[in-house]
Amino acid sequence: MNGGDREGIERAIMAGFWAMDRELGVSITELAMFDRCILVLLVLIGLTSCAHEIRRFPLADPMWVDEEDFRAFQPMPEEYYSPFAWDGADQMLFRPLSRFLAVDPSGAAVNVNAMDEVPNSSWYTNRLSRGPLDRQTLIRGACGDEPPLDPAGPWTITSAKPNGANPGFIIEDAEGRKFLLKFDSPNQPERATSADIMGSLLYWAAGFSTPCNRVVFFDRDILTIEEGATAKVGGEEVPMTWAMLAPAFEKATRLPDGRFRGASSQFLPGRPLGPWRYEGTRSDDPNDVIPHQDRRELRGAYVLAAWINHFDSREQNTLAMWVRDGEGDDAPGYVQHNYIDWGDSFGSQWSWDGISRRLGHSSYFDMRHVLEDFASFGLIDRPWFDAEKGPTGEVLGYFGVERFDPARYRPGYPNPAFDAAQDGDKAWMARIVAGISEDDVRAVVDQARIQDPLVESELKRILVARRERILRTFLRELSPLTRPVVVRSSEGPLLCAEDLAVASELIDWELRPYWARAWRHVGGDDLETVETGGLVRRRPHHLCMRLPTVSDATPSDPAYLIVDLMALWSNDDEDSRPLRVHLYALGPDELRVVGVERPTDLDPPSARD
């Protein structure tokens, strides 16, 4: 409690005494002793409340699954309709205005476990965040072992694609599976269909739930229109005809042999409930208790959106599904949250070139940029002023590397979760991106089955280079050391952590300086410095520290250790951040990691907020 706070409270109390004097006729003199007693009590309360005590992580396994988020309940939530125009106005105008007028600072993400990670839930599944993912699993993504559409058909068209920039329709294959079939636009052949496949694979690898998306090549004659199928024309449902579908085929990319190119997106399991929002909670979902803008995975998705320039990161490109836990319409269920539709990414262009140049750098209506440009008479140098299209011309448009600054990325209109993102959220996702190697990136591009070799090579070059910029930006904000574990060795227990900066080849292993320090917590805010026993470098890119021997520790009376592992970017680097690992010593050589912190400074441990 600082002096100003105390003086303010004293003034408030004295004002109350004066009011008592006026109203009750009790003099200040008669209240003097009472005044002194109150002040003494306030001082004691202040000293107690302001005392610092280092809080220990509990001796327990970190929570890796949020079981409560999968609880089955009834009734099924109502379907949510998200009007495009209203959502845009809300995010670009009304919400920024309300935030400007309100004191609403963003705090730390709520759903983070003791290891600085996100537990599994209906929103997120740990994949790369827990360790490496083999390439075959990565490139299969949400499809897993699901067989692809049979290009021999037959495919039955059941309805037209309801909305979106790219034409398409809904089909059913001979097995009864339903797919959304989409095509490219004529000015950007292969881009939109490729984007939907690559985006779904990268988001799935990062931990999100996505549809199974694949590129398909087919002959038109395998298609039939379902009897009774309708399409909406002028707001009315009318029988579907081939004439209605002709514009989609006219715009679609065709191979020299006459086959059409499309992107198939298999229907997700469950019943659609409409989009989910990037803020607030659903009142009709009892499992939905964490405000969406405070979920780390939604905040961290900022980094993925920046990587592929998914500027259309809005709620309309999400889908909540009601997944029943049992048979029958009355069976209870839970809400599964999915990302869908990446067709706008990887260089999508608008008909107005002025907007296309800004995509990823400024929102459609960016009040901050408008005011800055007005105040500076347009003298501020903006990255879209000298934007140029790359070697592929219209196909990938302005999607490139030279003007890409991950820290300054801006989607088409403000995203509440992105706006709330902290350094820890972005660094968390950057550590996941680091797990997608350059060869993995190239393998993801291969899944798009691009026929133009220039487009394919440019996509690989751009994605690899943008990945490196993301890692260099966000892995320096907080420690890139991760996944600490106690390893037994002939020299005693070692605390080892993986250095993602070395693993990603951002810095040479031989040039990487390391150091460590350790304390024993003896109670309150008291720490005793302990010898670390030296550092060991373990190939391919792990740093290990010999843990101290705690001879008096027992399972019934464990000792509590705090260790800082530091990886510097240079010998005189003062901005590096430590990985702070909390351990219990249950015996002289038995130690257990129970928690992780990533401080923003080099101060010794203190009370955790």
117-143 pLDDT, tens digit per residue, is 999 999 999 999 888 899 999 999 999
Q: How many CA atoms lie within 13 A of 254 on its CB side?
A: 10
pLDDT of residue 35: 41
pLDDT of residue 97: 60
Alpha helices in 309-366 (DSSP H): 353-358
Distance CA 272, CA 284 (A): 15
pLDDT of residue 52: 57
The DSSP string of 374-402 is HHTTT-S--TTTT----TTTTTTTT--ST
Q: How confident is the model at residue 96 (pLDDT cuts 50, 70, 90)?
A: low
Distance CA 304, CA 549 (A): 43
Distance CA 223, CA 168 (A): 13
Average pLDDT rounded to a whole number, residues 77-82: 88
Report helix, strand or coil for 339: strand
Q: Which of 335-339, 476-480, 535-539, 588-592 has the highest mean pLDDT?
A: 335-339
Q: How confident is the model at residue 588 (pLDDT cuts 50, 70, 90)?
A: confident
Average pLDDT rounded to a whole number, residues 102-106: 60
In SS3 terms, 446-504 reads as HCCCCCCHHHHHHHHHHHHHHHHHHHHHHCCCCCCEEEEEEECCCCCCEEEEEEHHHHC
CATH 2.60.40 fits 481-597, yes or no: yes
What residue segments make up the domains of the chain, in order of their start?
3-50, 67-123+280-474, 135-272, 481-597
Strand partners of residue 254: 260
pLDDT in tens, 414-468: 899 999 999 999 999 999 999 999 999 999 999 999 999 999 999 999 999 999 9
Q: How confident is the model at residue 88 (pLDDT cuts 50, 70, 90)?
A: low
Average pLDDT rounded to a whole number, residues 86-115: 70
Question: Cα separations (Å) of 420 from 7, 100, 295, 296, 309?
Answer: 34, 14, 9, 10, 19
Q: Percent of the chain, pLDDT > 90? A: 67
Report helix, strand or coil for 19: helix
pLDDT in tens, 218-242: 999 999 999 999 887 777 888 999 9
Q: Which residues are within 8 A (CB) of 460 and not within 5 positions of it... i.e. 6 or more apart?
A: 441, 442, 445
pLDDT in tens, 192-220: 999 999 999 999 999 999 999 999 999 99
Neighbouring C-beta atoms of residue 438, cutoff 10 Å: 15
Q: Is pLDDT at 80 greater than 70 in this prediction?
A: yes
Closest CA to 196 of 210, 176, 178: 210
pLDDT of residue 524: 87
Q: Is pLDDT at 40 greater than 60 in this prediction?
A: no
Report helix, strand or coil for 355: helix
pLDDT of residue 6: 34
Q: Which amino acid appears at position 361 of this protein?
A: H
Query: What does pTM read for this prediction?
Result: 0.87
Q: Percent of the chain, pLDDT > 70? A: 86
For the chain, the 3-state helix, strand and coil shares in percent, each to the nearest 5, are: 30, 20, 50
pLDDT of residue 92: 58
**Rounded (10°) CA dihedral 547, 553, 554, 560:** -70
Are 561 and 591 contacting, i.e. CB atoms less than 8 angstroms apart? yes
Average pLDDT, the chain: 87
pLDDT of residue 226: 95
Instruction: Give the distance from CA 22 to its chain's centroid.
Output: 59
Residue at token pair 């845009």: 88
pLDDT in tens, 505-549: 999 988 899 999 999 999 888 999 998 888 988 878 999 999 988
Q: How confident is the model at residue 22 (pLDDT cuts 50, 70, 90)?
A: very low
Question: Cα separations (Å) of 468 from 179, 427, 455, 508, 564?
Answer: 35, 13, 20, 15, 26
